[in-house]
Amino acid sequence: MSIQVNRLADPLVRAFVTAVNAHDKDAFNALLAPGATMADDGSDRDVADWTEREIFSCNGHMDVESESDGGRTLLVSYRNDTWGEMRTKWSFTVDDAGRISRFETGQA
């Protein structure tokens, strides 16, 4: 059973999931701090390249199963046209300006 996006505890993470599911690249990028970084399965990746390949060009979609760490860590059923559906964990680091400075994802 998934959590409705509008019920996610952290407003920034809620906006991140909303932007991913709407395929709204501008809204997504506005949430990221300058120089934001990310990792996939423990390996650092280029944010722009990875998000284009894994989210925006292949209809990425997040169904949140659970949240922890005040809403900054999510267990997600993630799907896209490239890989199908998989269970993933997402964690977010937020900077002092209230933007995402790093996010990490990987198989759960």
Residues 10-59: tens digit of each pLDDT: 999 999 999 999 999 999 999 999 999 999 999 999 999 999 999 999 99
The confidence score (pLDDT) of residue 69 equals: 97
Residues 59-97: tens digit of each pLDDT: 999 999 999 999 999 999 999 999 999 999 999 999 999
pLDDT greater than 80 at residue 1: no
- Give one DSSP letter per residue of 33-70, joined into a string: EEEEEEEETTEEE-HHHHHIIIIITTT-EEEEEEEEGG
Domain boundaries, the chain: 5-107
Distance (Å, rounded) from C-alpha 77 to C-alpha 83?
Answer: 12
DSSP-based three-state secondary structure for 77: strand
Longest dimension (CA), the chain: 35
Residues 6+ apart with CB under 8 A from 41: 105, 106, 107
CATH class assigned to 5-107: alpha beta
